[in-house]
């Protein structure tokens, strides 16, 4: 779990630095930074989505995920929790829920998160997670400077998601095939694209309602692999 703890710790540290930096920016500069980060997020999502191998799995996962997420109103639930956290901490500016969802997706979805956690759990090799931690640290600084306190809360997502994979690595390793990881990463990349579009003000997609797709995509890949 050392790699996971380091990852979560650096997300918190980067967020703290970003929050201090964000307070020095004027509204105009903050908006410029937000647009820049949104464009970078869009590029990250597009590049990841282009690496996906199965368009049919992607379409099915997003469609089914949207139905499940909308029925459960995941976006509304996270927003209510974020508003409550914002009220308790008396944070001003960016939505806590928006920062939490954006950072959680960026930090927890992707091959480095899954493969690195599997390596840490099976062989105790934390090299991939340490590399990811350094990247997340830099990302957290810039994200928190514009998206605020919610980015820091994503450290909890890192602990839960990556920690679960590390602890259950013995059971998950045979199941999380390269195809399943690719399906997860590709689907996550599309959601990251949606985040980027939201951040630059082009759309207002309820990205959280699509989160079930991150479970459905690898599940479909695993099932089709068995048939």
**94 band by pLDDT with thresholds 50, 70 and 90:** low
Q: What confidence tens digit (pLDDT) does each residue in 193-206 have?
A: 998 999 888 888 99
Give the tens place of pLDDT for each residue, 50-84: 777 788 999 999 999 999 999 999 998 888 888 78
By residue range, what is the domain housing residue 158? 2-226
pLDDT digits (tens, 9 = 90+) for 208-220: 999 999 999 999 9
- The per-residue DSSP string of the chain comes to -HHHHHHHHHHHHHHHHHHHHHTTS-HHHHHHHHHHHHHHHHHHHHHHHHT-S-HHHHHHHHHHHHHHHHHHTHHHHHHHHHHHHHHHHT--SS-HHHHHHHHHHHHHSSHHHHHHHHHHHHH---HHHHHHHHHHHHHHHHHHHHHTTHHHHHHHHHHHHHHHHHHTHHHHTTTS-HHHHHHHHHHHHHHHHHHHHHHTTS----GGGGTTHHHHHHHHHHHHHH-
Q: Is the pLDDT of residue 169 over 90?
A: no
For the chain, what is the domain count? 1
């Amino acid at each position: 779990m050392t790699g996971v703890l380091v990852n979560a710790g650096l997300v918190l540290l980067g967020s703290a630095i970003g929050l201090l930096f964000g307070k020095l920016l004027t509204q105009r500069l903050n908006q410029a930074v937000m647009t820049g980060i949104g464009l970078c997020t869009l590029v990250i999502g597009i590049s990841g989505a282009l690496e996906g191998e199965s368009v049919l799995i992607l379409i099915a996962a997003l469609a089914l995920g949207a139905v499940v997420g909308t029925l459960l109103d995941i976006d509304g639930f996270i927003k209510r929790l974020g508003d409550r956290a914002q009220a308790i901490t008396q944070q001003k500016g960016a939505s806590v829920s928006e920062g939490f969802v954006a950072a959680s997706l960026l930090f927890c979805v992707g091959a480095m998160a899954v493969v690195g956690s599997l390596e840490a759990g099976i062989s105790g090799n934390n090299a991939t997670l340490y590399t990811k931690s350094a990247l997340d640290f830099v990302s957290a600084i810039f994200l928190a400077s514009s998206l605020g306190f919610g980015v820091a809360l994503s450290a909890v997502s890192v602990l839960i998601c990556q920690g679960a994979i590390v602890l259950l690595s013995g059971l998950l390793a045979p199941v999380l095939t390269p195809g399943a990881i690719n399906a997860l990463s590709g689907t996550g990349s599309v959601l990251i694209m949606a985040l980027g579009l939201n951040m630059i003000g082009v759309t207002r997609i309820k990205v959280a309602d699509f989160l079930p797709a991150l479970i459905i995509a690898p599940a479909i890949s695993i099932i089709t692999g068995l048939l």
